[in-house]
Structure 1
Amino acid sequence: MSLDMITIGKRIKERRKELHLTLADIKAKTGISTGNLSDIENGNRLPASPTLVQLADALQCSTDWILMHSVPESENNGCSDLGELEILDMYRQISEEDKEEIYMMLSLKVKRIKIKKEQGLKSTISPIENKPKMA
Structure 2
Amino acid sequence: MLDMLGMRIKERRKQKGFTLKQIEQLTGISNGNLSEIERGIKTPSLSSLVKIVNVLECSTDDLIFGENESGFMGSKISVSEREATFLSALRELDTDDQDEIMDLIEVKIRRKKRLAKSSASEVTATSETA
Structure 1 length-normalised TM: 0.69
Question: Structure 1 pair 102/123, CA: closer, same or farther in 2 (3 Å)?
Answer: same
2:32 pairs with 30, 35, 43, which one?
A: 35
Deviations 1:49-70 (A, max 9, x none): 1211221222222212222324
Say whether residues 1:14 and 2:11 are aligned partners.
yes
1:82 deviates by 4.6
- Which consecutive unaligned segments of at least 5 residues does structure 1 have? 130-135
Deviations 1:24-54 (A, max 9, x none): 3323433333333223223331111121122
Deviations 1:9-29 (A, max 9, x none): 222112211211112332343
Identify which range, 76-85 or 59-68, moves more after superposition. 76-85
Which SS does the other structure have where 1:47 is aligned? coil
Give, in whole Å, the separation in 2 of the partners of 1:121 and 1:51: 56
Aligned-residue sequence identity (percent) comes to 32
Give, in whole Å, the separation in 1 of the partners of 2:17 and 2:32: 19
1:73 deviates by 4.4
Equivalence for 1:115: 114
The equivalences for 1:1-135 within 5 A come to 3-4=1-2, 6-70=3-67, 71-73=69-71, 75-79=74-78, 81-92=80-91, 94-96=92-94, 97-126=96-125
AA matched with 1:41: E
- Which consecutive unaligned segments of at least 5 residues does structure 2 have? none
Q: Which has the higher relative contact order, 1 or 2, with Cα contacts under 8 A spaced 6 or more apart? A: 1
Give, in whole Å, the separation in 1 of the partners of 2:7 and 2:25: 20
Q: Is the helix fraction higher in 1 or 2? A: 2
Give, in whole Å, the separation in 2 of the partners of 1:73 and 1:38: 26
Q: Give the RMSD, CA atoms, in angstroms.
A: 2.9
Q: 2:9, 2:63 within 8 Å by CA — same for their partners in 1?
A: yes
Q: 1:8, 1:67 within 8 Å by CA — same for their partners in 2?
A: yes
Q: 1:76, 1:85 within 8 Å by CA — same for their partners in 2?
A: no
State the number of aligned residues: 124
Q: 1:53, 1:63 within 8 Å by CA — same for their partners in 2?
A: yes
Bigger Cα Rg: 1
